[in-house]
Amino acid sequence: MLPNLIKHILSSEAQSREVEVYGWVRTKRDMKNLVFLEVNDGSCFTSIQCAFDRSFGFDAKTEAALCSVTTGASVKISGKLVPSPAAGQKVEVAAFSLTVLGEAPAETAGDIKAYPLQKKRHSLEYLREIAHLRPRTNTFSAVARLRSRAAFIIHRYFQERDFHYLHTPVITSGDCEGAGAMFQVTTLEPSASAPDYSNDFFGRKTFLTVSGQLEAETYATAISRVYTFGPTFRAENSNTARHLAEFWMVEPEVAFAELKDDMALAEDFLKYTIKAVLSECADEIAFFNTHIEKGILENLHHVAEARFTHITYTDAVKELERTAAKNKSLFEFEPRWGCDLQSEHEKYLTEKIAEGPVIVTDYPKEIKAFYMKQNDDGKTVRAMDVLVPRLGEIIGGSQREDNLEKLILRMKETGLRHDDYNWYLDLRRYGTVVHSGFGLGFERFIQYITGMANIRDVIPYPRAAGQAYF
């Protein structure tokens, strides 16, 4: 039998039954005859109050533990669950024994520093420096619980709709996004100036994957509906609040689906997951709404019900140009057809023009990946990005190029050696089909739903340029 979780103890009826509490001490109040310990085990926000009444007399071991126990120590407490006279809690523990399982010194002694999470508010920047201890705080335990539940909800969404969970490789030899921002994987000595990769471990140059899409396409064009959900890696040196070098991506891929089906799937998927998180993580969302981003609860409810605005890239740029002409100092970067939308443009589109999520479609082919289906105008591709207020791009997707000749030509134009992608081109040689998919950045989704400003605070161990400690 596993030990009780505080979450379950708190929600049970106080019938003077005996309970054992395991957790870490959040606070201690010693009032001569009465000692109160607030104990938390991260199963929920609320700590359980354990009251030690000295007038009953404790054994010497418990008495010594009561004197020495400090914030951060791990403890085992036995007592009776009784109705609580204190406001805000139904039950508390009338405790009769305390064992300190692991101390957490309040003062620095030799090599061991004082427990760094004393009872006060710590900045998120400070907590990033002690990433291994931050799940002991309310904010990070809430993120961890919500993140776990959100992953489960995402699996449920796809599994209930006959999508198969596909495990795509972490090590690949291709560059799916064609952006060249890849981490190389090699066992060769770093000193070699012109390394011969035929001597490398895999006999060729290999990288950490930037996306599981190409591999997902091969399975979608065989078993119809698949999705991946795994780590992806990008060596972009962008030090922003929404980029990581290692992040988790959810990538559905659907055979016989066009761009419009893909957009409908993305909208339905986002709304479902938002609604489910709001209802299944209600305590966590209430916390984020109070302490992190006021109004987020109402905003997310609105998003889950509203229709997403659709606009082509060309029309979006026209709108932005009109706005920029009227207010010259509004944007740092001038909106111009052919350039990528900057995050200030994405913010303006979602927050000021649409006042909600926007799906931008049909981007210029030059700023998108080689695999996207080309439109008849010869200039644009069937791409779609879902942009949301506060954050900008949360989903990127497209219909895929299913025409072999066009795909080979595009690969040549973008400098990809199509010989390396013969396996991928075979999908267009044998039984090619219209197919589409998208990628959701899981951390961006968690950021969006929690209101956490920095993406490094929604993943347990953030990886970014210059940051791989822990």
Chain positions contacting ligand 4AD, by CB under 6 A: 176-177, 211, 213, 234, 236, 243-244, 247, 249, 251, 393-398, 437-439, 441, 443-444
> Of Mg ion, ligand 4AD, none, which one sits near residue 273, judging by CB under 5 to 8 A according to partner kind?
none
Place of tokens 């791990």: 74
> How are beta strands 164-165 and 225-233 bridged, if at all?
parallel
**What is the enclosing helix (H) or strand (E) of 397?**
strand 392-399
Selection from ligand 4AD, Mg ion, none that 115 binds (CB < 5 to 8 A by kind) is none
Minimum Å distance from CB 305 to ligand 4AD? 22
Contact partner, 251, from Mg ion, ligand 4AD, none, Cβ < 5-8 Å per class: ligand 4AD
> Closest distance between ligand 4AD and the C-beta of residue 437, in Å?
5
Amino acid at 155: H
User: Least separation, in Å, of the C-beta of 235 and ligand 4AD?
Assistant: 9
| Burial class of residue 104 in the structure, from the number of CB atoms within 10 Å of its CB (0-12 exposed, 13-18 middle, 19+ buried) | buried
Q: How far is the CB of 20 from ligand 4AD (least distance, A)?
A: 42
DSSP state of 128: H
Percent of the chain that is helix, strand, coil (3-state, to 5) = 35, 25, 40
Closest to Mg ion by CB, 79 vs 396, is 396
- Among Mg ion, ligand 4AD, none, residue 392 binds (CB under 5-8 Å by kind): none
| DSSP conformation class of 366 | G
Closest by Cα among 383, 397, 408 to 211: 397
The partner in contact with residue 63, picked from Mg ion, ligand 4AD, none with C-beta cut-offs of 5 to 8 angstroms by kind, is none
What does the chain come to in residues? 470
CB nearer to ligand 4AD: pick between 251 and 401: 251
Amino acid (1-letter code) at residue 287: F
Contact predicate 300/449, CB 8 Å: yes
> Packing angle between helix 442-450 and helix 296-305, nearest 10 degrees?
120
* Token pair of 67 as six digits: 């004197």
Contact (CB, 8 A) for 442 and 153 = no
5: exposed, middle or buried (C-beta count within 10 Å: 0-12, 13-18, 19+)?
middle
Q: How far is the CB of 336 from Mg ion (least distance, A)?
A: 19
Q: Are strands 435-441 and 309-312 parallel, antiparallel or unpaired?
A: unpaired
Given ligand 4AD, Mg ion, none, residue 444, with its beta carbon under 5 to 8 Å by kind, binds: ligand 4AD
What is the C-alpha to C-alpha distance for residues 296 and 277, in angstroms, rounded to an integer?
13
Q: Which does 247 bind (CB under 5 to 8 A by kind): ligand 4AD, Mg ion, none?
A: ligand 4AD
Distance of closest approach, residue 106 Cβ to ligand 4AD, in angstroms: 38
In the complex, which residues of this chain contact Mg ion (CB under 5 A)? 396
Least gap, CB of 369 to Mg ion (angstroms): 8
- Cβ nearer to ligand 4AD, comparing 181 with 304: 181
Q: Which residue has the tokens 């078993």?
A: 223
Q: How far is the CB of 294 from ligand 4AD (least distance, A)?
A: 24
Q: In the bound complex, what is the minimum distance in angstroms from residue 392's beta carbon to ligand 4AD?
A: 9
* C-alpha dist (Å) from residue 231 to 93, 131, 177, 333: 43, 19, 15, 32
Q: Which is nearer to ligand 4AD, 139 or 399 (CB)?
A: 399
243 binds, among ligand 4AD, Mg ion, none (CB under 5 to 8 A by kind): ligand 4AD
Give the residue closest to Mg ion by C-beta.
Answer: 396
CB-wise, 206 or 211, nearer to ligand 4AD? 211
d(CA 66, CA 68): 6
Comparing CB distances to ligand 4AD, the nearer of 350 and 398 is 398
User: Residue 134: how many CB atoms within 10 A of its CB?
Assistant: 22
Q: 10 Å Cβ neighbour count for 246?
A: 17
Cβ nearer to ligand 4AD, comparing 213 with 221? 213
The option from Mg ion, ligand 4AD, none interacting with 276 (CB < 5 to 8 A, set by class) reads none
DSSP strand pairing (309-312 vs 358-364): parallel
* Nearest residue (CB) to Mg ion, 206 versus 228: 228
Q: Which is nearer to Mg ion, 389 or 396 (CB)?
A: 396
* Shortest reach from residue 344's CB to ligand 4AD, in Å: 17
28 or 368, CB closer to Mg ion? 368
Q: Pick from ligand 4AD, Mg ion, none: which does 72 bind, CB < 5 to 8 A by kind?
A: none
